[in-house]
Amino acid sequence: MVPREQAEEAIVADGNGKEEEVGVMGVSAGEHGADDHHGGGGKFSMKNLLWHGGSVWDAWFSCASNQVAQVLLTLPYSFSQLGMLSGVLLQLFYGFMGSWTAYLISVLYVEYRSRKEKEGVSFKNHVIQWFEVLDGLLGPYWKAAGLAFNCTFLLFGSVIQLIACASNIYYINDRLDKRTWTYIFGACCATTVFIPSFHNYRIWSFLGLGMTTYTAWYLAIAALLNGQAEGITHTGPTKLVLYFTGATNILYTFGGHAVTVEIMHAMWKPAKFKYIYLLATLYVFTLTLPSASAMYWAFGDELLTHSNAFSLLPKTAWRDAAVILMLIHQFITFGFACTPLYFVWEKVIGMHDTKSICLRALARLPIVVPIWFLAIIFPFFGPINSAVGALLVSFTVYIIPALAHILTYRTASARMNAAEKPPFFLPSWTGMFVLNMFIVVWVLVVGFGLGGWASMVNFIRQIDTFGLFAKCYQCPKPAPALAQSPVPLPHH
């Protein structure tokens, strides 16, 4: 699977999830050792095909698969809050903005790693993470901010995947309530502790993207075939609270690059990542725009009380297949969100260098418990996306990367010695700084400020309506019992 010359330049995970050391541009510290280790002279290996990922394609599949998961099912709900025009425009706006900040993160990673490699620092058996990049470039206060926002976002990102599992399976089997399904899927998702690193998501990323592609086009085609019911209205936007709640869900949708650094570090040539996230976003547009638009056209304002798109579509074998595929994909995305948390926890307790998969899995289990618990407390599928988007995503993947880039290259010497120069489409450092400041101000005011206000008002409304630990959030109410029939007269 892996050519000889590629293997010589690879960071590769062995059976224990550990890595051969290479430079940021993909130059191996021990070329022949890497070659021997990774597949033995370029021979085809099924293990390498399914387990050892690090190519540009692997990174693209990981980004595209991770970017759109359960949020595919809540975007029609956001369109009902925003209206068709705002829904489409905001998807494009935040999609390109997210691609830009993912590019900034990749540039800062390359800068950090280049500087450290010049100092002779070894990253063998060590996965670089975003907070370490911030620490190396800007100091401990930025490390603390990056660690706090990133870990909290990934924690709640995992919570959202777990909530989505329970919400989706309910439309196939409603004999159990959603809270019970959350218990079950919490145990299933805990098995992700056995996946060592992002190298080992090769086949899962490929399958995951196929699953979301099927689901997106099922939603679009099923909505068009269903048509518009009589009396359907399209009144959005009607309230500022709903408008900015929907907008922050879209901000959340295209803010899935909290794992960018870990995906880059898993690449054989991390410097090639620069435009991968943009290319992934362009593909994601082909999934999100048709499905959300078609669902809103067909169901209109009815979506305001149905945050999961599956709930409005008739039960068919096609829908059941989409539900099952989304469940599998949410398991994969749970692993994507949790793996960086596993790394942080391993580093805290001194287990990150351990070679035993079983010992590392055991050490990782405490991370799953609070995720499980939070999913049971806040089962608000849809509104929780907006709250996380406004309060966490806004800083984690928009504001902090933009500010970090400005401060890293604020001096003439830093710009002169930069490992990555400005891109061809914006060849001016001044232009980059202006664009970064626009992102900081926009996301701070619109995303965090107005979005935070709207999403928290909506989130509190869900708590007031359904309560914490809701047993079955937005489940159909049972039909009222039929009036008791009169007692029959005795026969003579």
Determine whether 14 is exposed, middle or buried from the number of CB atoms within 10 Å of its CB (0-12, 13-18, 19+): middle
pLDDT at 163: 84
Report how far residue 246's alpha carbon sits from residue 454's, in angstroms, rounded to the nearest whole number. Answer: 9
pLDDT in tens, the chain (492 residues): 334 333 323 333 343 444 444 555 554 443 333 333 444 444 556 666 666 667 889 889 988 888 887 788 889 999 999 999 999 999 999 999 999 999 999 999 999 999 998 888 877 778 888 999 999 999 999 999 999 998 998 898 888 888 888 888 888 887 888 888 888 888 888 888 888 877 777 788 888 899 999 999 999 999 999 999 888 899 988 889 889 988 988 998 888 777 888 888 888 888 888 889 999 999 999 999 999 999 999 999 999 988 889 989 999 999 999 999 988 888 888 888 888 899 899 888 888 878 888 898 899 999 998 998 888 887 776 678 788 888 899 999 999 999 999 999 999 999 999 999 999 889 999 999 999 999 999 999 999 999 999 888 888 887 777 767 677 766 666 655 444 445 454 444
Using the structure block, give the residue that is written with the tokens 């399958």: 207
What is the phi/psi pair of residue 12, to 5°?
-125, 145
The C-alpha angle with vertex 56 and arms to 51 and 59, in degrees rounded to 5, equals 65
Alpha-carbon torsion, ordered 229, 231, 234, 240, to 10 deg = -130
Which residues, other chains included, contact 491 with Cβ-Cβ below 8 Å and sequence gap of 6+?
none
CA 63 from chain centre, in angstroms, equals 8
pTM attached to this predicted model: 0.83
Report how far residue 225's alpha carbon sits from residue 234's, in angstroms, rounded to the nearest whole number. Answer: 19
What is the phi/psi pair of residue 252, to 5°?
-65, -40
Domains of the chain: 53-466 (1.20.1740)
pLDDT at 230: 83
Report how far residue 344's alpha carbon sits from residue 441's, in angstroms, rounded to the nearest whole number. Answer: 30
- Contact present, 402 and 329 (Cβ < 8 Å): no
